[in-house]
Structure formats: structure tokens, C-alpha cells
Chain A
């Protein structure tokens, strides 16, 4: 019995400690990010300089890129994080579910100075990345010239890897089926357009390997499991630069997307969080990330601040926007995302 009492005392003490620990530290900013090289880059470009400038201490918390834990935090009313980095689709989900704060842009910066679609109600853009096509020229003798070559199995036979998610794939399918980039979202908003996109995907379904985690595309190329893969440009660039892989990126018909940062509802320190958002949204600071990882700024007026040697590798470098490209329509995915994800999952399972 005494043993039991001791355990309970220990538990109670632990509880008390956690409660006290939770109440203190007004000058701490707790940021949840999804780790890896991307978080390292943010640390160098933003965390450390911000900390130096304001004297605030930054606590980094990693998570596995999903919003479930944030929802659980908000529901219990115990939110030990002030900021969370997420994908656009996740911002839309979290906004609708009421677990992300609706942002007050007067505390961040002029909303019209952000690239279209990168300043959302519940999340503000951190950087721009490209959904691109990557291949290994030592395997593929003829070079693909557009992402849409995914759909050409006669010219490029073999397996191709695509992300296990409807966004981007449906857009590419429609473009490959002859829809002009400007009309893609108009067509995709109709049931016939959705059918058309899935019908196009059907033509290569048996040749597709689906990737889930961002680490997979480079691995799939390196192991020659696939002849080409869609990917986030930063990952492939990283394989080329640091791992000396001979991969090539096809920018023509890339889709531009944004990484986002958001404030969970009930965050302990929203004022400091806004201060941080304002800091990283200044054009000169916004451009800094590009020096550490090949993702571009989201402020339209930040281009001139990007380091000269970093510029050519960014997805929104002038050279890479010379061909066709599409800016992901976040509003469209907010409206139709849930239904299309459902349809996509059912289509995959069949």
C-alpha cells in the first residue's frame, strides 16, 4: 500500500511540476516544425536572428507533419505551442475545423504584398516550393521536357512515382489532357472535369508508384525503382548538391505551392507569435531562407533581397517561370479538397 501511495505522490508531484512549468515563461516562443533540413534552414535564417533581436527564447518542437496533435491540444485547452508550420492543405483543414487562429494581418504586414494564395486567413506563407518532375539522365536516355511527360508511357516507359494525394495530380492530368493552365481550376470545379482528370490518371494507373513521405522520391530515383518522379524541388536539389546525385529537374509545367505557418487557437503567447510572423514577413528577412534551402520567398517585393547565388535554384526564379507553370489555387482546394480526397482514396482502392 505504501508503495502505491508513493507512486501516487510521485504522480501528483509530476503533475504539479508540469502545471507550474506550463504557467511560466512569457518570453518563450514555442514553434512546432516538421524537422529535417528545412527546420535547420529556418533556424539559421529566422530562429536565431529573431532570438537575438528580441531576446525571446525559441523552443523547437518537432512533429510528424500532421495536424491531429494540434487538434487534440486545442480541444483540451492546453496549447503549449505558439506557432506551427504546415502545408497549405493543412491550413485549410485546420481553419475550417476551428483549430487555427484567424490571422490579423495588420500585425503581420500588408496582405497584398504576398504572392497570390500565400496569405491565407489562418496561415501565412513561409516560402514557395515547386512540385516538379525529377529523373536520372543516366537511366532515362531521352530527357523529358515537361512534367506532363508523366502521362507519356510510350515515349517514357517504366514506373513513375507520384504523390499519394489528389492535389497536383489532378491538375497535371487535366493539362496533359489538353486543358490550358488558366482553365484548369474552372474545369476541375465541374463533375465532368473531375471525371476527365481521373480518366486521364486511369491511363497510367498501373505504372504509378505512390509516394507518401517527402523523403521517398529521391530514394526511389536513386534505387532506380522508377524512371521519373514528381517531387518537391528542395529535396531533389539537396540530393544533387549534397549527395552528388546526377538527377535533373524539369521545371516546365511545375506547380507552385507555399509552406505555411499558423497560430493554433489558444496559443500561450500570441503576441510574440505575431511579432515573429511580422519579422519573417519583412521582405529582407523573407528572402533569407533561400540562402539555406532552395525555397523561394513569398513576398513579391523580396526578390531583390535574395542572395545572387541562391536565386537560380529557386522555383520562382525567372528562368523556371519561363515555361508553363501553375499556381496552386488554395481557395479551390479549400472548397473541393475534402470531396476530392475522398474520391481519390476510393479511386486508389479500386
Chain B
């Protein structure tokens, strides 16, 4: 707009004209704003149905569930008296007898309400070994009141251990960073600082790195396989292209369980791949392809190939062949034309395909469970285990939250570096 502004050189004598011009200008820019506003509203209206649908069907449920990573009121709800008694404790050494007495009373209440086991499980997640100690204490408390109850709690050495009370106090705070820290192999130490957990318990960072590594390997492998094929399909006559597309889409009709089982048949020790390798003499011994990282990557590459290929192909289809012809006729050599004219235009499709494959790989868990070895399990295997087997949804939520943040951050960086913004992708 600034170009249309009246210049400084305008003379005061032209004030009348100028104000008229101003008025014109105002009406033009108002019209432009109106038009732009209309465009925006139309865009918003176009996007609204999906955004509203996603907010309701996905956004609300996920936010509610993921909030469990930081909000866990189980212990606070189960230990109201202890919570009050600990309010005055400075966190050093052991709390006073009032805290022990409050704990005894709370434990008796839980036993009466039948929630002692839930409390024990919840505390055990934060303080290994707490479950059996707590239940033992509850049994001792059965017929004890007043001083006897206090003595009963004190007679269990566990309640006088240095790590116990800090853990209880942090548990009585419903808003907790415990699960998020655990998901990063971190924990609070006795001094209130954050430290790494001992190496024999530290797994998640390693698993996150492994998940990203496998996802990146599979993405790269699919790109190498898919790009030439997409190029071929986009440039052969229609009939042949249709047949090739059917070949690419055929795997979609086969359940992932069936495809995984098929790879088992292929990769196993006395499977077809090993038979073939022996036959052509590449190897002299049967390879252990099953339950290995390489087997997992091969199977995942197969399942993901169409996801990388189709976006690339659909963009290649929109590039008119006349462009390349024009480049040739202007004297560009094939390779130069390809690199300078073709690749930049296909780039959005490549990014879209790779992005889909990378993200989808992060969520794999059936294939790693059936084809990967013990050290090839991905983060979703752990999350599924927390959800279905250990019933520790707080931990599952924390791991998912970290995964979401890591992935979005990775894309943020990627978008910056590659300037994806201009490509309207991210």
C-alpha cells in the first residue's frame, strides 16, 4: 500500500486534490479489506466443519486423557488427613507424630472404604515396594486405635525410611510432574532437585531415540524406493499407470496383521528370503532376519511404501510435461532440467509423503511386537503396555505427551530449516 501513499513532495496547494485522493484511497483499501475479510471468512467457513468435528471427536477426549500426565488426585483423595498434617512439615528428616497418626487414620479409612489397594498401587508407582508395606501396615492396623495405631505404623521400618515421606508428600499434590519426569528417565531427589534415575531403570530416552531412528530409517528407505516408481507411474501411458497404481494400492486391502504374518513367513530362518539368498549364493549360512532391527525396518518399509509414494505421485501428476519440453527446447540438458525444474515442484509431495510415513512409524506397535526383537520395541509398545496391562494411564499419558511434544518440535525445526512454510505444508 505504501507505494500509493501521496509523496512528501506534494504541495499544500494541492491539499484539496489530496484529500480527494485520500478519500479514494480509503475507499479502495476499505474495499480491499472487505474483500480480504470475505476471503478469510470463506476460508474459515471451509475449514470449520473439520476443525469443529476434530475438536469434538478428538481434541476434547485427548486433552482430558493427556491431562492425567500432570493431574493425579488418587493419593491426595485417599490421604486427606495426612495431606493436612504434612502441610507444616519442612521436608527434612521425618515428620512429627501427628503425620504418622494421620496416616494411620487415613489407612484405616481406606481399608473401611475398600480403597486401600488402589492407594497401594498408586503409591507403589512412585515408591517401589510401597504396595506390600502399605498392605502389611493396614493388616496391623486392623484392631489398633489411638496410640496403638501410631505404634503399629511406626513398627513398620518402611515408614521411617528417608525416601518414604518425600514421596508421600509429593503424592498428596494432585498436580504432579512425577510422570512427565519418569517419562524422561528423571526423578526428584531428596534435596528437591531433579536427577537421572539409576541406569538399570532408565529406558525411555533410549526407546524414544530408537523410535525416532527406526522412523527415520524407514522414511528414507521408502523414499529411495518410492520416488523412482512414482516418477515412472506419472510418466507412462494411462493404461500402464493404472495397472501400476493398482499394484501400489493392493497392499491396502490386506490387513496389517496378515502383512506382518507374511513377513514372518518370508524372514524366518527357514523362510523364503533365506532360501533365496542361499540359492543364489549370497550367503553361506541362514541369517537371523526375524526378531532383528533389520527385519523390522524391512517389514515397516513395505507397509509404509504406499504412504510415501502416493503424495509424491499426486504432485508429479500435476506437473504438465510441457514444462520439461520447454526446458529442453531452451537447451537445458535432461539432468539440469530435472534438477532445476522438476525437483523443486515435486518437493511438496516428497515432504508430504515423508512426513506421513515418519509420523505413522512413531505409532507402530503390532509389527515391532511380532517381528522385532526385545531391543526393537518402540515407544507405542510401552504405551500400550501401560494402558492395557499395567493400567497405569498416568504414565501412558505422560509418554504420549512427550512423544507429541518431541514430534511437533522436530517438525517446527524442520519447517524452519527447509522453509516448509513457503510450501504451505506446515
Direct contact of A and B (CB under 8 A): yes
- A interface, CB within 8 angstroms of B: 66-68, 71, 90, 93-99, 102, 159, 164, 208-210, 212-213, 216, 219, 223-225, 335-336, 338-339, 341-343, 345-350
Contact (Cβ within 8 A) B290 A66: no
Name the distance in Å between A238's Cβ and chain B's nearest Cβ.
18
- B window 202-249: CB within 8 A of A: 202-203, 206-207
**B386, closest chain A residue (CB):** A68
In the complex, chain A residues whose CB is within 8 Å of the CB of B265: 223
Contact with B270, one of A67, A209, A213, A223 (Cβ below 8 angstroms) = A223
Q: Please report the C-alpha to C-alpha distance between residue A349 and residue B120 in the assembled complex, in whole angstroms.
A: 27
Contacts of A346 in B (CB 8 A): 200-203
Q: Which residue of B lies closest to A87 (CB)?
A: B389
A102 touches B114 (CB 8 A): yes
* Chain B residues, Cβ within 8 Å of A96: 117-118, 120-121, 131
Residues from chain A with a CB closer than 8 A to the CB of B98 are none
Within 8 A of A (CB), among B329-378: 369-370, 373-375, 377
Query: Contact string, B265-288, partner A, CB cutoff 8 A, digits 1/0?
Result: 100111100000000000000001
Of the candidates A93, A210, A347, the one whose C-beta lies within 8 Å of that of B389 is A93
Shortest Cβ gap from A39 to chain B (Å): 19
**Choice from A93, A212, A343 contacting B391 with Cβ under 8 Å:** A93
**Structural contact, A338 and B390, CB atoms closer than 8 A:** yes
Which 4 pairs of residues, A with B, have the shortest CB-CB distance?
A66-B388, A68-B388, A335-B132, A96-B121
Residues of A within 8 A of B118 (CB): 96-98
Any chain A CB within 8 A of the CB of B128?
yes
**What residue in chain A is nearest B129 (Cβ atoms)?**
A339
Q: Tell me whether B85 is interfacial, beta carbon within 8 Å.
A: no
Residues of A near B158 (CB, < 8 A) are none
Tell me which of B268, B369, B375 contacts A349 (CB under 8 A): B375
Tell whether, in the assembled complex, residue A68 and residue B201 are in contact, meaning their CB atoms are under 8 Å apart.
no
Inter-subunit contact A224/B201 (CB<8 Å): no
Q: How far does the Cβ of A143 sit from chain B's closest Cβ, in whole Å?
A: 22
Shortest distance in angstroms between A339's beta carbon and chain B's nearest beta carbon? 5
17 interchain pairs (CB within 8 A)? A67-B389, A71-B391, A90-B389, A94-B391, A96-B117, A210-B373, A210-B374, A216-B370, A223-B270, A224-B269, A225-B268, A335-B132, A341-B390, A342-B201, A345-B385, A346-B202, A349-B377
* Residues of chain B with a CB closer than 8 A to A210's CB: 291, 373-374
CB distance from B260 to the nearest CB of A (A): 11
A264 to chain B, nearest CB (A): 13
Residues of chain A within 8 A of B71, CB atoms compared: none
Type the 1/0 row for B175-191, where 1 means its CB is closer than 8 Å to any CB of A.
00000000000000000
Contact partner of B374 among A66, A90, A348, CB < 8 A?
A348
Cβ-closest chain A residue relative to B269 = A225
B269 touches A349 (CB 8 A): no
Of the listed residues B129, B132, B389, the one surrounded by the most CB atoms of chain A closer than 10 A to its CB is B389
CA distance A68 to B384 in the complex (A): 9
Give complex CA distance A99, B393 in Å. 14
- Bound Cα distance from A95 to B117, whole angstroms: 7
Nearest-Cβ distance from residue A140 to partner chain B, whole angstroms: 15
Q: Which residues of B contact A219 (CB under 8 A)?
A: 264
Are A68 and B387 in touch, CB under 8 angstroms? yes
* CB-nearest residue of chain B to A164: B374
CB neighbours (8 Å) of A164 from chain B are 374
- Bound together, the chains give a CA A213 to CA B269 distance in angstroms of 20
Contact: B388 with A335, CB < 8 Å?
A: no
Proximity string of chain B (399-415) to chain A, C-beta cutoff 8 Å, 1 when within and 0 when not: 00000000000000000
Rounded to whole angstroms, the CA-CA distance of A223 and B271 in the bound complex is 8
Contact A68 B391 (CB under 8 A): yes
Q: State whether the Cβ of B115 lies closer than 8 Å to any Cβ in chain A.
A: yes
Q: Determine which of A216, A336, A345 lies in contact with B203 in the assembled complex, contact meaning CB atoms within 8 Å.
A: A345
Q: Nearest chain-B residue to A69 (Cβ)?
A: B388
* A67/B374 in contact, CB under 8 A: no
Q: Are B129 and A349 in contact (CB under 8 A)?
A: no
CB contacts (< 8 Å) of B164 on chain A: these are: none
B142-191 contacts to A (CB < 8 Å): none
The one of B203, B290, B373, B391 in contact with A97, judged by C-beta atoms closer than 8 angstroms, is: B391
A270 to B203, CA, bound (A): 42
Q: A93 to B118, alpha carbons, bound, how many Å?
A: 10
Chain B residue with Cβ nearest A341: B390
- List A contacts of B291 (CB < 8 A): 209-210
How many angstroms from the CA of A210 to the CA of B291 in the assembled complex? 8
Min CB–CB distance B214 → chain A (angstroms): 14
Chain A residues near B115 (CB-CB < 8 A): 98
* B124 contacts chain A at the CB level, 8 A cutoff: yes
State in angstroms the CA–CA spacing of A66 and B370 once bound together.
Answer: 17
**What is the bound-complex CA distance between A223 and B390, given in angstroms?**
32
Contact A349:B390 (CB < 8 A) given known A102-B114, A210-B374, A223-B271: no
Closest B residue to A90 using CB positions: B389
Q: How far does the Cβ of A85 sit from chain B's closest Cβ, in whole Å?
A: 15
Complex contact B389–A343 (CB within 8 A): no
Q: Which residues of A contact B201 (CB under 8 A)?
A: 342-343, 346
Does A349 lie within 8 Å of B373, measured CB to CB? no
Instruction: Flag if B131 contacts A349 (CB, 8 Å).
Output: no
Q: Please give, as numbers and ranges, the residues of chain A lying within 8 Å of B393 by CB-CB distance.
A: 71
A345→B117 CA distance, assembly (Å): 24
- Which of chain B's residues 306-322 have a Cβ closer than 8 Å to chain A? none
B359 to chain A, nearest CB (A): 23
Q: Which residues of the other chain, A, contact B375 by a CB distance below 8 angstroms?
A: 348-350
Given A68-B391, A225-B290, A349-B377, A336 contacting B270 (CB threshold 8 A): no
Q: Quick one: closest B residue to A93, CB to CB?
A: B391
Complex alpha-carbon distance, A196 and B117, angstroms: 30
Minimum Cβ distance to chain A for residue B370 (Å) = 7
Measured CA separation A138–B55 after assembly (Å): 59
Shortest A168–chain B CB gap in Å is 16
Q: How far is the CB of A153 from chain B (nearest CB, A)?
A: 15
